[in-house]
Amino acid sequence: MHATDNLLAIKGLKTHFFIREGAVRAVDGVTLSVPRGKTVCVVGESGCGKSVTARSVLGLVDEPGRIVAGEIWWRREGGEPVDLASLDPKSEQMRRVRGGEISMVFQEPMASLSPMYTVGAQLVEAIQLHLPLDKDQARERAIGLLRRVGIPRPEQRFDAYSFQLSGGMCQRVMIAIALACDPALLIADEPTTALDVTTQARVVDLLRELQADTGMSVLFITHDLGVVAEIADEVVVMYLGTVVERGGVDEIFHDPKHPYTKALLGSIPRMGAGTRQRLTTIRGNVPHPSDRPAGCPFHPRCDSAIVGVCDAAEPPDVVLGPGRTARCVLHEHDRSSLKEVRI
Ligand SMILES: Nc1ncnc2c1ncn2[C@@H]1O[C@H](COP(=O)(O)OP(=O)(O)OP(=O)(O)O)[C@@H](O)[C@H]1O
């Protein structure tokens, strides 16, 4: 795959929070890419920097955080590539990208919608912000979008308030708002976490259908490997602010390289493995980024850690093939002939 096939390419991103006690290195050298028309899942335990990475793309990092290093290349069709990391988050150009070219769906649909306005009014507002449509045209498009995200009787639901809808319906409305401007990239940050299991599955199916219909790219953030198996083309595994492994979904599930990926996979039940399968837990907890261990950040929890090596030096980011990397000293000798990480 050529680098230009990537709609989004993040290279060496560092986003730190500057608090009284010092710098919290929430994202500390993330490299990943999202190819056109593909779904990339970012997976990892809570606190590993998934959301901060996503928010960095859209210039939505809360104070006292800021991007301190790295590049975020946005390469929309027919446009000049632009490094979003270099833009002022409040600039007109960033505002155009945010919501106009890249949309985001968050974890808490109820909290994202205002209880003061009908869902229709909020949808119309999002449409008119980015498209030159009058009120009637925007209403028509809004009802079409509500229908498209599977909301029954969309003409009536247009006039409903968020508190009159279930969590699943609210998330469908949020997805409709995100689709209002035909984004080239949809970033979905744990969009199903707040929903019950059946509703989660429906929302994942919806996102998969919409991706296939529209050809948009999706950056899907989750800690749920079951969802990853269903929706991902490519997977990025994060640990403590860094990417520890990247690869195609089959490679990650059937041939994981990094001990952390193996441990994550060992902690989920497998279909067809029977009721007596042994599930392992990853020992210990993810440390806080301000308490990052020296060397490989995973070494205190890693069963394969080598004393004097893994606790002493940062592991190399080994390129195993196109779009396939593992940040682990155990794979240093498996390097592919590629000389650098292609993003
Ligand atoms: N405003 C802030 N001030 C200080 N630290 C912050 C701030 N926001 C996030 N962090 C820290 O950044 C780290 C990464 O957080 P992030 O929300 O990206 O993790 P995550 O992988 O998305 O986890 P989750 O699955 O729980 O959402 C966390 O350790 C968090 O404490």
Six token digits for residue 48? 């590993």
How many angstroms separate the alpha carbon of residue 181 from the centre of ligand 1? Answer: 29
Contact 119, 161 (CB under 8 A): yes
What local confidence, expressed as pLDDT, does residue 342 receive?
Answer: 41
Look at residue 278 in the predicted model and tell me its pLDDT: 59
Q: For residue 335, how far is its CA from the centre of ligand 1 (angstroms)?
A: 32
52 alpha carbon – ligand 1 mean position (Å): 6
The answer to whether the beta carbons of residues 93 and 177 sit under 8 Å apart is: no
> Does residue 49 contact residue 244 with C-beta atoms inside 8 Å?
no
In a mutational test of the pocket of ligand 1, which residue from 46, 104, 260 has the highest number of ligand atoms less than 8 Å from its CB?
46
Collapsed DSSP state (helix, strand, coil) of residue 201: helix
Q: Are strands 242-248 and 324-327 parallel, antiparallel or unpaired?
A: antiparallel
Q: Which ligand 1 atom minimizes the distance to the CA of 53?
A: 18
User: For atom 13 of ligand 1, which residue has the closest CA?
Assistant: 26
Give 51 Cα–ligand 1 centroid separation in angstroms.
7
Report how far ligand 1's centroid is from the alpha carbon of 46 (Å).
8
- Pairing verdict, β 65-74 and 82-83: antiparallel
Probe residue for ligand 1, chosen from 14, 45, 48 as the CB with the greatest number of ligand atoms within 8 Å: 48
Amino acid at 68: V
DSSP characters for 97-111? HHHHTEEEE-S-HHH
> Which residues, other chains included, contact 4 with Cβ-Cβ below 8 Å and sequence gap of 6+?
75
Closest CA to 301 of 203, 146, 292: 292
Distance CA 327, CA 34 (A): 19
Atom of ligand 1 nearest to the CA of 238: 21
Take atom 12 of ligand 1 and give the residue whose Cα is closest. 26
Ligand 1 centre to CA of 120 (Å) is 32
Pocket of ligand 1 from Cβ distances under 6 Å: 17, 19, 24, 26, 44, 46-52, 62, 65, 223, 288-289
Distances (CA, A) of 271 to 254, 268, 275: 14, 10, 10
- One digit per residue, the tens of pLDDT, for the chain of length 343 reads 444 589 999 999 999 999 988 899 999 999 999 999 999 999 998 889 999 999 999 999 989 999 999 999 999 888 889 999 999 999 999 988 987 899 999 888 777 899 999 999 999 999 998 889 999 999 999 999 999 899 999 999 999 999 999 988 998 999 999 998 889 999 999 988 878 888 888 889 999 999 999 999 999 999 889 899 999 999 999 999 999 999 999 999 999 999 999 999 987 766 565 655 555 677 788 888 888 899 999 999 998 999 999 999 999 999 999 889 999 998 877 665 544 444 3
Tell me the CA distances in angstroms from 56 to 13, 53, 60, 231, one per residue in order. 9, 5, 6, 23
Question: How far does residue 337's CA lie from ligand 1's centre (Å)?
Answer: 36
Among the atoms of ligand 1, which is closest to the Cα of residue 221?
Answer: 22
CA distance 219 to 36: 11
Nearest atom within ligand 1 for CA of residue 24: 5
Q: Give the closest residue to 341 by CA, choosing from 249, 254, 243.
A: 243
* Ligand 1 centroid, distance to 72 Cα (angstroms): 19
Q: Exposed (0-12), middle (13-18) or buried (19+): which is 22, by Cβ within 10 Å?
A: exposed
Measured CA to CA, the distance from residue 266 to residue 18 in angstroms comes to 36
Query: Which ligand 1 atom is nearest residue 27's CA?
Result: 14
CA of 160 to the centre of ligand 1 (A): 34
The whole-angstrom separation of Cα 319 and Cα 342 is 9
Work out the burial of residue 80: count CB atoms within 10 Å of its CB; fewer than 13 is exposed, 13-18 middle, 19 or more buried: exposed
Please give the model's pTM, rounded to 2 decimal places. 0.91
**Residues facing residue 11 across a β-bridge:** 71
Closest to 214 in 3D by CA, of 242, 248, 251, 175: 175
Q: For residue 129, what pLDDT is reported?
A: 86
